[in-house]
Structure 1
Amino acid sequence: MRSSNYDKFPFVPVAAQADACQVGWAAIAGVLQAALAAQPAASGQPVVLAVECYPGTGLRQLRQALTQALQPARCLVAGDLYRPTADIDAMVAGPLTDDPVFGRLNGLTISDFFDAEKLRAAQAELAAAAGELVLVLGTGATLVCPDATVVVYADLARWEIQLRQRRGEIANLGSDNMAEKASLKYKRAFFVDWRAADRLKKQVLPRADYLLDTNDPTAPKLISGADLRAGLAAAVRRPFRVVPFFDPGVWGGQWMREKFDLPDGPANYAWGFDCVPEENSLLLGFGEARVEIPSINLVFAHPRELLGEAVHGRFGTEFPIRFDFLDTVGGGNLSLQVHPLTEYAFDKFGLAYTQDESYYMLDAEPGASVYLGLKEDVDFPAMVADLQLAQADSTAPFPAAKYVNEFPARKHDHFLIPAGTIHCSGANAMVLEISATPYIFTFKLWDWDRLGLDGRPRPIHLAHGAANIQPGRTTAWVEQQLVNQIQPVASGEGWREERTGLHEREFIETRRHWFTGLVPHHTNGGVQVLNLVQGAEAIVESPSGDFEPYVVHYAETFIVPAGVGAYTIRPHGPALGTECATMKAYVRT
């Protein structure tokens, strides 16, 4: 029987009273009816309930529930006012490109999806509905009626969207691609739908009267805009965790299943996304109720308080630090891969920065290894030719040992991986990946002659990869620059601090603290991300009592907003009397 104190559903407490959160359509309808009644229409104007929806929201159920409860005189659906599907497909074709994985970031907005004549006709219909209750819903509802009487934002987590894509339940925005592969739906959402929707969300969410959590169709939840904003303000004043999620993969392992007490359904768990705010959710607690929102909402609402002035000035409303898990214990090697150089990422994909990263060995079985950098005197053209041959002929596997270094990996080792360095984790390793956050820009070079979980070959990006591999990063350079570059920095009673990287080409700094007593920390005006890499439990406290003490458990990642300032960490509970360790990452300024 597995047991774990890893918290899979961390939350930020907002209000003790549960009635701040309405659960179920009947309760939600009652609140909305009262809100509409409290704001009667001005003379000659309709009463409009606008429900702005994040792409992927279940519109059919939403429309059915609200029309049945509210009995509006008219109902307008934003998607009915879009341009023809063929026109939208043509509009997004350029940013999407014909690559199965990569597209180009762009400036499309939700307004670009609308047919101008249809929109004018709908707004004329609204203007003629004097004194009537009109329901306007869908992605772009607030563009149809910018002066709605009551505005509800129906939100949805990215992970839930991906699950709906995989189940074939949703199409992309303005598309009829319900039957398309989930990976292509994800790509289109990543480059088009979510970018456009987030631009509108930044405008609507600060003024929304209500937030509707639509992640669980059987239990929708409604909170007021004021309570949403109170929750976000509470989160940014204290350490917090986002909600982790886990996914199987062709190389996945069993460590997380055992240590985190994950369900037995999938054959393995390859990825654990423990701190990727654009992908993860944030839970707000109202009594026993939990409202789930995308954690990127916090970045949009409080970028300066969360990130700090310097980080916000450089990255805007993006969270630049990513912590995730790669589990190959009982699994296989990751694909041999490389990340794009900064200039390549910008020129080809419109990215402002690239995925520099590192592998911190949270755990490692005997024989675990990391592939990193090229061997000395490698014939680079011959290596590329062998990669091409392996891709074309399954009977000619790529001889990785001939070209790529394989370093033994032990618990607490730290391997630095600046973009342009060929790399992958070998089997039987549990990696805490600390990286920048451009998400999907990994160029696979060789996948060990495997098929994906869908039984199809996974995409290989050899042309991109070959253009970015740095041939000079060979054995001696890698050993001197990238493997366990650990330097003592400071110490005090019951603690010591080490610098473990990252490389000078990378903008993230990492520090490891070993401690048996209280360790002083300070954000120094920038956001910090930490993971408890050793010890059962630790407690994070404010020396001045500015936030409630916060308990974290082994392998949990937590965020300390820039505005927190001074904080301390010490062993707690079952870890008292033992040595603990944290890994901390922050942006160099």
Structure 2
Amino acid sequence: MTKPYPLQFQPEFKERVWGGRALEQFGWDIPEGVIGEGWMIADHPNGTTAVIGGELDGMGLDQLREKFGRDWFGTKGVSETNGRFPLLIKLLDCNDDLSVQVHPTDSYSGLPQGELGKTEMWYVLDAKPGAKIIYGLKEGVTRETLAAAIHENRIMDELQEVPVQAGDTFYIPAGTVHALCAGVLVAEIQQNSDTTYRLYDYDRLGLDGKPRELHIEDSLNVIAYEGAGATTMKTDGLAAGEWLELARSPYFVVEKGIVQQAWKLSTTPDSFTILVVADGEGTLSWDGDSTPLKGGQCFLLPANLGGYTLDGNCTVIRSYLP
């Protein structure tokens, strides 16, 4: 019988026209090219990660789910819609501006077969001076006024720009217009979905040299013009050994913690726990065993792991199912 242990995965790296090489700083051997996304914990047809180390080395997250089910992933830990792992964890290197985009809800009729909607949140790991994001529509924008602005090539006049710094967090419910911009490195916790509708892409060519596809009608259909409940917050000043809630949705709860000495914690039977190490170094210990921690690492702790201890000097982002 396999004893549960913290699982780390070999990321699936994705080349993106807006990507760069910043993910190398975390010690990952990333492929050539402009790498925009590291899918750190993934169970999706477009990318599935495999375990690094331990008895389950090389096993895909999809295989783990099939083998261990709710014992390891929790009573809530498998999607009722498509049977997959319910979350997707990414690191994003935004060397250039991303497209202006929006994601659908689970109920949108235009979703591909078996795909979920996409509510997500960002924790800013690093931001260059002057970095910003696009975060929502300006007040009073309607479907009609936005459609007119798109037709007249002045969509940027209708969008809110927000300056960002390391430690900022953004909750982005489905229906929220948004775009990460150049000079930002983020950790993203999201529903397990790869559906994005692009409103605007700066007339940019894709990696294939062709204009990237836009999805104007789908975007106009799914935007929450009165707001979907997006929230943002600063997270500096947090005391060590306390959890600060960054986002709570029907799909995930995300918290930030500062580790400065031994911090005893435990998983619960209803959900796995995901730890993203935002910065620093430390140790993760459990059941007489341990592994070192460093910035950029992501761990999946099985629901039946039980007690574990974080130690060292590091910042951790913790996610679990509500």
Q: What's the TM-score once normalised by structure 1's chain length? A: 0.50
Work out which structure has the larger RCO, using CA pairs closer than 8 Å and 6 or more positions apart in sequence: 2
**Sequence identity percentage:** 24
**Alignment deviations for residues 172-217 of structure 1 (CA, whole Å, 9 cap, x no partner):** xxxxxxxxxxxxxxxxxxxxxxxxxxxxxxxxxxxxxxxxxxxxxx
Task: Provide the C-alpha distance between the structure 1 equivalents of 2:265 and 2:52, rounded to a whole number of angstroms.
Answer: 26
Letter in 2 for 1:273: W
Q: Deviations over 1:333-364 (max 9, x none)?
A: 1111111122105x643447421101110111
Note the alpha carbon deviations across 1:19-65, whole angstroms, 9 max, x for none.
Answer: xxxxxxxxxxxxxxxxxxxxxxxxxxxxxxxxxxxxxxxxxxxxxxx
For these two proteins, the number of residue pairs brought into alignment is 318
1:302 maps to amino acid: F
Residue 580 (str. 1) matches residue 314 (str. 2): yes
Tell me the amino acid that sits aligned with residue 549 of structure 1.
Answer: S
State the alpha-carbon separation in 2 of the partners of residues 313 and 376 from structure 1.
35
Q: Deviations over 1:507-538 (max 9, x none)?
A: 21011111211122221221011111121x22
Amino acid at match of 1:520: K
Check conservation: 1:242, 1:277, Cα contact below 8 A: no
Deviation string 1:1-20 (CA, Å, 9 cap, x unpaired) is xxxxxxxxxxxxxxxxxxxx
Q: Which residue of 1 aligns with 2:49?
A: 280
8 Å Cα contact 1:321/1:586 also seen in 2: no
Give CA deviations for 1:404-439 in whole Å, capped at 9, x if unaligned: 11111110110000001001101100011111102x
Q: Distance in 2 between matches of 1:285 and 1:568?
A: 19
Decide which of 131, 135, 141 is 1:368's aligned counterpart.
Answer: 131
Query: Closer, same or farther in 2 for the Cα pair 1:531/1:348, shift >3 Å?
Result: closer
> What 5-or-longer segments of structure 2 have no aligned partner?
none
| Alignment partner, residue 377 of structure 1 | 140
| Matched position secondary structure for 1:311 | coil
Distance 1:469 1:562 in 2: 35
Which of the residues 212, 231, 253 maps onto 1:458? 212
Q: Determine if the alignment matches structure 1 residue 531 to structure 2 residue 276.
A: yes
- 2:201 is the alignment partner of 1:447: yes
Residue by residue over 1:69-126, the C-alpha shift from the partner in whole angstroms, topping out at 9 and shown as x without a partner, is xxxxxxxxxxxxxxxxxxxxxxxxxxxxxxxxxxxxxxxxxxxxxxxxxxxxxxxxxx
Larger radius of gyration: 1
2:102 is matched by which residue type in structure 1? V
Could you say which residue in structure 2 is the equivalent of 1:482? 231
Shift of 1:257: 3.1
- Write 1 or 2 for the structure with the bigger share of strand: 2
Q: For the residues of structure 1 that align with 2:210 and 2:220, how far apart are their CA atoms?
A: 23
Displacement of 1:314: 4.3
Aligned to 1:216: none
Report the Cα offset of residue 457 of structure 1: 1.3
Name the SS for the 1:354 alignment partner: coil
1:375, distance to aligned residue in structure 2 (A)? 0.5
The one-character-per-residue Cα deviations of 1:303-348 (angstroms, maximum 9, x if unpaired) are 11221123348467411121101111xx211111111122105x64
**Which of the two has greater helix per residue?**
1
Distance 1:248 1:412 in 2: 25
Does 1:302 find its partner at 2:51? no
1:431 alignment partner in structure 2: 186
Partner of 1:208: none
**How far 1:254 moved relative to its partner?**
2.9
* Counterpart among 542, 545, 551 of residue 292 in structure 2: 551
CA-atom RMSD, angstroms? 2.6
TM-score with structure 2 setting the length: 0.90
Task: Provide the rounded CA distance (Å) in 2 between the counterparts of 1:343 and 1:509.
Answer: 21
Q: Match of 1:495?
A: 241
Pick from 335, 342, 355: which aligns with 2:106? 342
Structure 1 pair 461–513 and aligned structure 2 pair: CA distance change class (3 A): same
For 2:254 and 2:237, the matched residues in 1 are separated by 12
Are residue 405 (structure 1) and residue 154 (structure 2) matched? no
How far did residue 461 of structure 1 move? 1.1
Cα distance, 1:293 vs. partner? 3.7
Tell me which residue corresponds to 1:260.
27
Matches within 5 A, 1:53-64: none
Contact 1:500 1:511 in 2 (8 A): yes
2:285 is equivalent to residue 541 of structure 1: yes
Q: Which consecutive residues of structure 1, in runs of 5 or more, have no partner in the other structure?
A: 1-229, 390-395, 572-578
- Aligned to 1:421, the other structure's residue is in SS state coil
Is the 1:397–1:449 contact (alpha carbons within 8 Å) kept by the matching residues of 2? no
Once the two structures are superposed, residues 354-400 of structure 1 have per-residue CA deviations (whole angstroms, 9 ceiling, x without a partner) of 2110111011111111111110122431221332x3xxxxxx64441
Q: Is the 8 A contact 1:487 1:498 kept in 2?
A: no
What secondary structure, in the 3-state scheme, does the structure 2 residue paired with 1:384 have? helix
**1:496, distance to aligned residue in structure 2 (A):** 2.1
CA distance in 2, matches of 1:244, 1:293: 13
Deviates more, 1:524-533 or 1:271-280: 271-280
Kindly indicate whether the alpha-carbon contact (under 8 Å) linking 1:300 and 1:317 is maintained by their aligned counterparts in 2.
Answer: no
Q: Is the 8 A contact 2:111 2:117 kept in 1?
A: no
